[in-house]
Every structure is written in structure tokens, then in C-alpha cells.
Amino acid sequence: MGWELLWYGLTALGLVDALRCRKLSQSIPVAKAQGGDSTEYGWLAGPGVVLDPAARHAAEAFAGAKGLDVLALIPQQLPATTALGLVQALERDQVRQDRLARVRMVGSGLLAKREILERARLAEGSVASVEALSEAASKLRRYAPGGFDFAIAPGLSAGTKTPFSDWKAYHGLFGPAAGPMIFFSLLAVAILWLGVALYPVAGAAALLVFHLQPTLALAGGPLEPRRLLSATLLRSPKVVWDGLRLGFGSLDSSARKAEIEALRPTYERLYREGRDRFFHPPFEQCPVCSAANLVQHLETGDLFQNKPGCFCLDRCRDCGHIFQNPQLAPVGLDYYYRDFYDGLGRAEAEAFFSYGVKNQRDQVATVLSVCRPQRWLDVGGGHGQLCQVAAGQSPETRFEALDLSEAIEEAERCGWVEKAHRGFFPALAPSMKNRFDLVSMFHYLEHTVDQRAELRAAYTAVAPGGHVIIEVPNPESAFSGWLGKYWLPWFQPQHLHLIHRANLERLLREVGFEPVLSLTVKGSQRTSLLFGAVMLIHRLAPAPLAPWRPPAGLWGRTRYLLVQWASPFLLAAAAIADRLVAAFGDSPRLASAYRVMARTTKQP
């Protein structure tokens, strides 16, 4: 037996996946034709998609009966290969339960209540592309308190494009995972045929199940796949052809190149005006204890976007505080934040922060173990995700949030926060005096220039008897030494301060708070090796097109492709290692973050 067992295992996995897909496809409801008229819902359609009036009435009646705000419609008749791909991509339960979920838009159109379309600032009608429809679906999910679901529409055409038509549409469906998924699909076919050559019986069994998957998953279900027989017989060559077509399509960067070249003059001007102005003069003393006993702790670059520059982190030998020195000035912060959370970097940032929902639930649980705030201000609120999570656990609480980005204003339009504040907390705090029972600062303080000023602002905003809760990276984590510059929480150049827990508690007491709870965040290190691998990949092979760097030559493009094709193995190994560490070594000394909650000492 030996290695032969591998192909028998693949046979079993193929059967399990086929049955999973069959169960999933049969769970998708069908919006059957029925009478009725509705003006409550508006319609967004992909390119070339047509929905006949009877089918639209049926879909609107279905959405109304279910109390849905948004309904994504899937054509009933699709090519079998496309239908199987859409079922495999569908994450129906997650999207229905979680307003924070990124929607993999497997449908061809969206019905949405008109008031939600208006708040989301989306116009009815056809959208320009499949990827634009995916973005609209994710946006509408955030605006849909009454629910979001998928249904099969018998009278809906598939349109001129599907998420599998080209690389751009495929990337719109799967995001940063698109490239590794193509690679693994090609690798799977190669392994199956290798099995046929090495172990004819076991290999043929695995290959047979692989070819039968479309039939096992789709036959007799609510979807009516076209060309099911040919999709079954020709599955291997079809997967290889689609993988190569999409893979080589990713090399056609004409649209991306045009977007980048439009930004290049701005970046060149900013850099040409002088990088010296990006930084304040260096600190001679520790900003926490004022000791003039500093030593360089770490030197690194931008390991995410590879923007030019080198950044130094100094450590105070007296109190242990670690901080960027020299520190970025506002013009430097603007340069390095530009196109990170929005613009060119938006998709990667969304994928990055999608890992945080579980931690947000844990953050809320910590708060509720100490107090039940009536009014809660989340500082550094981003898109308002934390407030949305907290509202599910504390429905009586009224939420406000503060941030510098325009995303916080969208959070108010979504209804995730009662009121959004845009600006610097120390400047806005006097207008919030004694207003809140709780001020939260989750992974905010490390981004700020003056931590004392931020804590004084929290003291101003919190009411007598109120609390502040803070979560920041833990510079005492063992991973900070093991991984060096590839430890994610160093996060240069955005993290300006990495404060030790004893120093944070000292500053809290200094401004008028008394700590009541202090803990390391269990599990906060569980993606340390994975994100370390991501940063290593970015360093080894920077993206060949970026407006802050000259276009890559032949070697740069070749190196990028080689590293990208090899990266799934490194990422998989890192993820497995993270799981092993979590299973066998989940100790406080490994934690990458800590949390402190403190009560104000101010009197009524």
C-alpha cells in the first residue's frame, strides 16, 4: 500500500466534497413564478443579464415573504462547469448570518429595497462588470439589517459574463485567494493523473470521482446545468484549460497598469519634494519615561507595499518602551497610508481585516464582563465593524464611532453607529465631555503620535464611573524576537509606538484611570507565522506594477511569477504551523496582543 493510500484518500475527499456540494445546491431555494407586483425593490444586474417580468415578480414576492432586504438571484440554467464552480464558491450560511461577511456574488443580479440602494448610493440598472456586481453585493450586505439571501430564478439569464469568464471577474469573486486557487486546481489534476500512472487502481478511482463530481453534485437538483455529460467526461482538460486561461489572464495588466500610471505622477512628486520632510526630528529621550537611554531595537522597511524607505524602532533601556524614531510627520503618514486601506490596496486590506471578527466578539465579551455601557464610543472605528458586532451582544447600547477616514461616515449610513465623528480624537474630545460610559481603543493607540494626549481625550469623553478599554500589540511576545522584522505587529511604518503593559497602566493612572482588568489576548498569535510568510513573499517579490516604484524589468516580473506560484506551499505550511502552535503552545508569553480595561477616578 504505502503511497497508494494517498489516492484512496483523495477518492474519499472527492466523494465528501461532491456530497457537500449536492447538499448545498439542493438547499438553495427557488423563487417560483407567482403573481403580484411590487415597487419596494430595485434591481441591479450584471452585464447582459435579463430578468423577465414574471420571474422578477416571483423573486420580489419571495424576498418580501422572507422579510429580506437584499436577494441575490442565481440563473437556473448555467453551463455545468460554471454551476459547479458557483456552488463550490457559495457561502450562503455565512453571508446570511454575518453582515460583516464579504459576499462571493455567485448570482447574476440583485434585488434590494430601494431605501437601502439609496443609502448605499447605488443606482438601479445594469452595472459595468461582474466584479462591480460583487462589490455592490458586499456593500449592500452591510446595509441590510433585515437579511440577505440567495435564490434560484428560473427566468433569469446568465448574461454575457460569469465570475469564471476572465481573470478580473474571477479575482472579483475570490479576491487575493484567486491565484492560489488556480494553482491548486492545476496541481490537483497533475496529482490525479500521476496516480493513474503510479497506482492504476487507486489513481483511476480518484480520477473517476473527480470527473463524476459535476454529476454527483448537480444532477436532479434545483439547478438545471447545461452540457452536464460533457462537463463530466472532459473535466480534467476543462480544468486545465480554465486554469491556464485564467492564470495567463492575470498577466494581462492593461487595466491595472492604466490605474497605476495615473497615480505615478502624484507619488513621484511627493517623493521628489523631499523624503526628509516625511519625518519629525529624532527623539533624544523616551516619550514615556523621558530617559535619554535609547538603543536601536529594529530596522525594517515597508513589508506590505514595498514603498521606499527604512524605519527604525528604538527601545528605552530604562522602561522598555519601543517606538519609531525618527517618527513620521503628517506628510509622511499620508504618503504611507495612501492606497493602503483604499484605492489600490483596498482588496488586500479587506482580506487582511476579515481575520478579525472572532477577536471583535471576544473584545465585546471582555467589556460586558465588567460593565453594560449605555453609550459607547469606539475610537479608530474604521468601517464600524466592532459596533455592529457589539450591537448583537448588547442591543440596549447606543454606539458612536470616531475615525479619520470617510469609511466612518458610511458606517453611520449603514446604521452600524448612531453617530460618526471624523477627525482627531484629542481635538474632538472637548465636545464630548462626560458623554460616554465606555471609550474603546482597539488597535488604535499604536497608530497615534501622542499616546498621553489620546488617553487624556478618553478621560475627557468618559462620564464619571465610566471605563476605557484598550487593546494593543504585545512587544513582549516571544514571536517578536523569533520572527524579527517579519512579526506582523511591528507593522512599519504605521505603528508608531509599541508600549509595554506596565507602561500603559502607568500612563492610565497618570491621566486619571485605575486599571480593573489586564490580560493577554488568548489566540492573538494564531496567524503570526501565516502573516510572517505573507510579508516574506512581499519582500522576496514585490508586485511588478506599483506607482511608487519604477516598473519591474524582465527579471523582476519573472521573479514575481515564480514566487507567486510557489507561495501556496509556504502559506499552507505556515498556516499548519500556526495550528500546531495553537494546539500545543497557546501560552500567554506567545500572545501578540494584550488588553487593559480601566475605570475613571473622576467624581460626578
How far, in Å, CA of 406 to CA of 220, rounded? 48
> Any bridge partners for residue 71, and if so which?
111, 149
Does residue 381 share a domain with residue 274? no
151 domain residue, yes or no: no
Q: Which of 273, 296, 324 is the last residue of a domain?
A: 324
Q: How large a percentage of the chain has pLDDT more than 90?
A: 59
Highest mean pLDDT among 286-295, 560-569, 582-591: 286-295
| Domain end (from 324, 356, 381) | 324
Q: Is 427 buried (19+), middle (13-18) or exposed (0-12) by CB count in 10 A?
A: exposed
Residue 445 is assigned to a structural domain of this protein = yes
348 and 278 part of one domain: no
pLDDT at 36 over 60: no
Give the range among 105-109, 508-512, 538-542, 594-598 with minimum mean pLDDT: 105-109
Strand partners, 379: 402
**Which pLDDT score is estimated for 465?**
95
User: Residue 409's domain is classified under what CATH number?
Assistant: 3.40.50.150
For residues 565 and 476, state if they share a domain. Answer: yes
pTM score, two decimals?
0.84
Residues 283 and 416 in one domain: no
Supply the pLDDT for residue 273. Answer: 86
Residues 292-302, mean pLDDT to the nearest whole number: 97
Whether residue 496 contacts residue 324, with contact meaning beta carbons closer than 8 Å, is answered with: yes
The partner residues of 151 in beta bridges, in order of sequence, read: 73
Measured distance CA(200)–CA(206) in Å, rounded: 10
Residues 449, 309 within the same domain: no
Q: How confident is the model at residue 356 (pLDDT cuts 50, 70, 90)?
A: low
Residues 556, 467 share a domain: yes
In this structure, are 378 and 273 located in the same domain? Answer: no
Q: Kindly list the strands in the beta sheet with 497-498, ordered across the sheet, starting from the edge strand earlier in the chain.
A: 294-300, 311-316, 322-324, 497-498
425 part of a folded domain: yes
Backbone dihedral region of 271: left (phi > 0), alpha (psi from -120 to 50 degrees) or beta? alpha
Question: Is 362 in the same domain as 266?
Answer: no
- What is the rounded distance in angstroms from the CA atom of residue 432 to the CA atom of residue 451? 19
Q: 80 in a domain, yes or no?
A: no
**Per-residue confidence (pLDDT) for residue 254, from 0 to 100:** 65
Q: What pLDDT, in 10s, does the model give residues 147-181?
A: 899 999 998 888 778 888 888 888 888 877 788 88
Q: Residue 222 domain-assigned?
A: no
Same domain? 449 vs 308: no
597 and 440 Cβ atoms separated by less than 8 Å: no
What secondary structure letter does DSSP report for 546?
-
- Is residue 143 in a domain? no
Tell me if 290 is assigned to some domain. yes
How far is the C-alpha of 44 from the C-alpha of 200, rounded, in Å?
Answer: 50
Only one residue has cell 497608530, namely: 447
What DSSP designation does 551 have?
P
User: How many beta carbons lie within 10 A of that of residue 77, not counting itself?
Assistant: 14
- Mean pLDDT of all residues in the chain? 90
pLDDT tier at 255, thresholds 50, 70, 90? low
Residues 395 and 525 in one domain: yes
Q: Reply yes or no on whether the pLDDT at 237 is more than 90.
A: yes
pLDDT tens-digit readout, 389-434:
899 899 999 999 999 888 899 889 888 899 999 999 999 999 999 9
For the cut 60, the answer to whether the pLDDT of residue 33 exceeds it is no
Domain that holds residue 282: 255-324
Per DSSP, the residues of 97-120 read H-TTPPP---SSEEEEEHHHHHHT
DSSP class of residue 67?
Answer: T
Structural contact between residues 25 and 222, judged by C-beta atoms closer than 8 angstroms:
yes
Domain count along the chain: 2
**Together in a domain, 415 and 271:** no
Whole-angstrom Cα Rg for the chain = 26
pLDDT for the residue 37:
54
In-domain check, residue 412: yes
Rounded Cα gap, residues 450 and 426, in angstroms = 10
For 575-584, the CB contacts below 8 A with 24+ separation are 575/529, 575/530, 577/529, 578/526, 578/527, 578/528, 578/529, 578/530, 579/526, 581/525, 581/526, 581/528, 581/529, 582/523, 582/525, 582/526
The verdict on 462 and 400 lying in the same domain is: yes
pLDDT at 531: 93
pLDDT of 24 reads 93
Q: Which amino acid is at 89?
A: A
In 327-432, which residue ranges form alpha helices assigned H by DSSP?
330-337, 346-353, 357-368, 385-393, 407-414, 425-428
